Structure 1
């Protein structure tokens, strides 16, 4: 499977438990070569959907395929898909090395891959410690190492940053970006929206098991705005294109549709002073709340 670019295709996926429908008619694509964020409030159906992708949960209807095949029909599923769901799926008496060796044997991976991952995940000094003493962050790293054992082309990671400190989050961002740049398909769910905004290229957002938005973050969030501080704000506003500017405070303007260099060039052409130019990207938290909040009933 090395080098293959495998998309995840979800088509009209539905899961019912008795009278409760937890996932309803979901359709979206997760592309290779990018990091896709899978977002939704608690109970929205994210984990259930990811488990249906790996055959851990059977759909009531619809399909989820990886490279055109359902998980059960993949020739080497452990070497094709790496999944990370439960951060506590460790025998408390096993060491990190023991744990990885067990899973390596199950998936047909050589012991050398275990050593490689212990180094990659920063476990060199803790490889022979019992997992019962691991912090949440260490458990997350070991869980991620387990998902990476087969050098998979597809990664499904449920809350991979849970318990990581800021340095760990920076390390995780770098790792996932590198894996995506290698052409792998990376789908992550997370509630830490500030981290998601720094990492993801695409978004899939669901609410109550239904799709509410999917596509590139840049398109869903809209273009960035430029915040301008100027003692000549009124004159600058008059010089800018109609409809592109609005007041943002005393001596400040918010400009849409132009980037910072264009605003600076226009100000210079009109001999107007500019004290500060800041490019402000759309806030993912605001976008998330707009997409997932229940509409307020009219009085």
Structure 2
């Protein structure tokens, strides 16, 4: 391992359960200093992959390493990797403080770290409450507090936003961004794409256990389009698709509305003015994560 910046490297990872292949020849890298979204439909193999990275599931083939080492060879695993895989392992009679003290002792972490993570996760006021009375959102915070006991440089979080209210989601986004900005490696799976879009720098998308694409979200989404509303939409479309110069791709998306790819809004406005055509509205339209996800993971995408 080199320094404190530890990448997750998955290479040709495969997992079979009898005749079912849950993960097939999967390769990708999660870089430190960024939040990476791990996305795919239900049953795509996300949780299985994350469990193989943390040694909870043995791969049929391939490797998964953290800072160049398999999880099983890490000298102090809980000081290197923190993981949340949904559910919980809370004794209903234990308080949050009790729970964290047990896991701190198991990981060899100082007892003082318990108070630190309780405060970090906003659980200090609930520290002495029995976990049986915790809401789903509080349980999620306690799961994350447990994962952070060892102050790890790598985090793997499977659906960490489940059960969080808007305030909780905003808190989670801020926390994970701060951890990534500190040079940590953060891999997050989630079905709440609107929230993930506000958080992630990179994405890894899988489908049926295979890699679909991986890379910076800004690159995968592509350049924005321009949505135009005009009573002269038909004439505008005709003039846009005639040279000279670069010819944009133009879609008709409804009565009096066009989507223009390849030009920016000022370019469309100047062109319309030069041809004395009316424009009532111009909107720069960025590809949302949900649109990108559906485009990459469905068999057929119908466009107008």
Per the alignment, residue 285 of structure 2 pairs with 280
Per the alignment, residue 245 of structure 1 pairs with 250
Kept in 1, the 8 Å contact 2:136–2:163? The answer is yes
The whole-number CA distance in structure 1 between the counterparts of 2:153 and 2:95 is 27
Residue 229, structure 1, aligned to residue 234, structure 2: no
Residue 181, structure 1, aligned to residue 181, structure 2: yes
Of 225-234 and 177-186, the range deviating more from structure 2: 225-234
Matches within 5 A, 1:74-93: 74-93=74-93
The whole-number CA distance in structure 2 between the counterparts of 1:79 and 1:228 is 53
Of 57-66 and 34-43, the range deviating more from structure 2: 34-43
Matches within 5 A, 1:1-299: 4-230=4-230, 233=233, 237=237, 240=240, 241-264=246-269, 274-294=279-299
Distance 1:183 1:277, change over 3 A: farther
Following TM superposition, by how much is the alpha carbon of 1:142 offset from its aligned partner in structure 2, in angstroms? 0.5
TM-score w.r.t. the length of structure 2 is: 0.87
Distance 1:294 1:232, change over 3 A: closer
Following TM superposition, by how much is the alpha carbon of 1:217 offset from its aligned partner in structure 2, in angstroms? 1.9
Kept in 2, the 8 Å contact 1:2–1:153? The answer is no
List structure 1 runs of 4+ shifted beyond 4 angstroms: 230-241, 261-275
Output the aligned Cα RMSD.
2.5
Corresponding residue pairs, total: 296
Following TM superposition, by how much is the alpha carbon of 1:111 offset from its aligned partner in structure 2, in angstroms? 2.6
Distance 1:289 1:150, change over 3 A: same
Kept in 1, the 8 Å contact 2:86–2:159? The answer is no
The whole-number CA distance in structure 2 between the counterparts of 1:57 and 1:189 is 17
Kept in 1, the 8 Å contact 2:230–2:257? The answer is yes
What SS does the aligned partner of 1:116 have?
A: helix
Distance 1:221 1:265, change over 3 A: same
Of 32-41 and 266-275, the range deviating more from structure 2: 266-275
TM-score w.r.t. the length of structure 1 is: 0.89
What SS does the aligned partner of 2:124 have?
A: coil
Of 105-114 and 86-95, the range deviating more from structure 2: 105-114
